[in-house]
Amino acid sequence: MTGFDRAVDRRGTACIKWDFQEMDYGGKSGLLPFSIADADYRTYEPIVAALTARVQQGIIGYTDVEEAYTAAVAGWCARRHGWTVQPDWIVPTGGIVPAMCHAIEALTRPGAGVIVQPPVYDPFYSVIQAAGRKKLENPLIRDEAGYRMDLEGLRRLVEDGAQMLLLCSPHNPVCRVWTREELAQVAAICQGHDIVIVSDEIHWDLTLGDREHVTMGQFGEVAEQLIVCTSCSKTFNIAGLETSNLIIPGDRLRDRYRAYLFARYLFVPNTLGMEAVKAAYADGDAWVDEQQAFLTGNAEIVEAYLREHLPRVHMAEPQGTYLLWLDMTAYGKSSAELVERIAQAGAGLNAGSAYGSGYDGFVRMNVACPRAQLRAGLDCIRRALEPIEQEGSV
């Protein structure tokens, strides 16, 4: 029924990952891509059907948010995330990254401190800089158990007057699914302070194995200071529709955010995006469950391959997202050099150094693809790294 393991030829469709490789890989093209976060398998077929039906009318005019739309979003929040969301809390928006830009500008003062927890999805840095706010870094702590938040560091920054926290949950790129206990501590630290929590939960449906995502929305004590960013884009592989939903339970916060959007005429939703969201959230549950199992299998394939062929590569425990975080520091090369060598061997990955200082020697690998592609990519990595061992630099 589902086609996660079926290759689709995306070349020649102006696809960023397949058709625009030259800039990222020193002029090279034709690489097997494992980079930008979309998937190389088809979306949920009822979405294709809904879009096709809508397009058949031949008019893609301005549309507004209908009740069926907010009901579909609220239904998903309740069914999949145990979160009761009132329809008027839902603020449809374009991409999550632009929405973060708006949130920073609308809800913090010029020069205000905004907290990020590196290593983190690189646009988190750009949106702060673009808004002229001050980036406050609270790096994740890494020990034998993996990555965790520095809760004491977070407390200090909050007490020192930071006005916003950009929380990445699940966390791209270290693959963490934060536990209820960890998130409860984040809520306790922020509660009562004049700080807005922007919880980017774009990957919230993409947990691996038996991990369970806990939405920040479940912590009622911070409801008045919370924006939860959600989307079908990663879950259903429809990122190109640029349609997301912010969920803002607090009336005051939501009014301020909406007023900012209205003043800038940023209130017309994407007509096709809304059709896709309704079709996805109507009953895409089984498809998402199958995808989770498929992605868990892909992460296991990578784990087994590294254990057998490249034991010096350390992979962060894959708990969520489809973006694996590979520590290749044992090879003594920069991220740029690793990416360059892997590209020469035929695969395109992301340099870990993009996600924070201190992560040179790391790379990020998107494994949302059919397994033949995944295995071919792993062989490319092996062909790139083995000569480094032979050069004697490790």
Ligand X SMILES: Cc1ncc(COP(=O)(O)O)c(C=O)c1O
| Residues contributing to the site for ligand X (CB under 6 A) | 37, 95-97, 121, 168, 172, 200, 202, 231, 233, 239, 244
Rank residues 89 and 121 by Cβ distance to ligand X and give the closer one: 121
Rank residues 37 and 189 by Cβ distance to ligand X and give the closer one: 37
Give CA 83 to chain center in angstroms. Answer: 20
Q: Are 59 and 47 in contact (CB under 8 A)?
A: no
Rank residues 96 and 149 by Cβ distance to ligand X and give the closer one: 96
Distance CA 185, CA 181 (A): 6
Distance CA 355, CA 9 (A): 29
For residue 210, give every residue at least 6 positions away whose Cβ sits within 8 Å of its Cβ, in sequence order, or none.
none
Distance CA 367, CA 25 (A): 19
Nearest distance from C-beta of residue 123 to ligand X, angstroms: 7
Distance CA 33, CA 21 (A): 9
Nearest distance from C-beta of residue 284 to ligand X, angstroms: 18
Rank residues 177 and 384 by Cβ distance to ligand X and give the closer one: 177
Nearest distance from C-beta of residue 125 to ligand X, angstroms: 12
Nearest distance from C-beta of residue 311 to ligand X, angstroms: 28
Helix, strand, coil tally for the chain in percent (to 5)? 45, 15, 40
- Cβ-based burial of 57 (10 A; exposed 0-12, middle 13-18, buried ≥19): exposed
Rank residues 24 and 345 by Cβ distance to ligand X and give the closer one: 24
For residue 326, give the nearest of 359, 290, 282 by alpha carbon. 359
Residue number with the smallest Cβ distance to ligand X: 95
Rank residues 207 and 231 by Cβ distance to ligand X and give the closer one: 231
Rank residues 214 and 388 by Cβ distance to ligand X and give the closer one: 214
Nearest distance from C-beta of residue 372 to ligand X, angstroms: 24
Strand partners, 137: 116
Rank residues 175 and 342 by Cβ distance to ligand X and give the closer one: 175
Nearest distance from C-beta of residue 332 to ligand X, angstroms: 29
Nearest distance from C-beta of residue 280 to ligand X, angstroms: 15
Beta strands in the chain (DSSP E): 32-33, 90-93, 113-116, 134-137, 141-143, 146-148, 164-168, 196-200, 226-231, 244-247, 314-315, 323-327, 347-348, 350-351, 362-366
Count Cα atoms within 13 angstroms, Cβ side, for 50.
20
Nearest distance from C-beta of residue 246 to ligand X, angstroms: 11
Distance CA 227, CA 249 (A): 8
Nearest distance from C-beta of residue 114 to ligand X, angstroms: 15
Rank residues 37 and 50 by Cβ distance to ligand X and give the closer one: 37
Q: Quickly count: other Cβ atoms within 10 Å of residue 311's Cβ.
A: 9
For strand 244-247 and strand 226-231, is the pairing parallel, antiparallel, or unpaired?
A: antiparallel
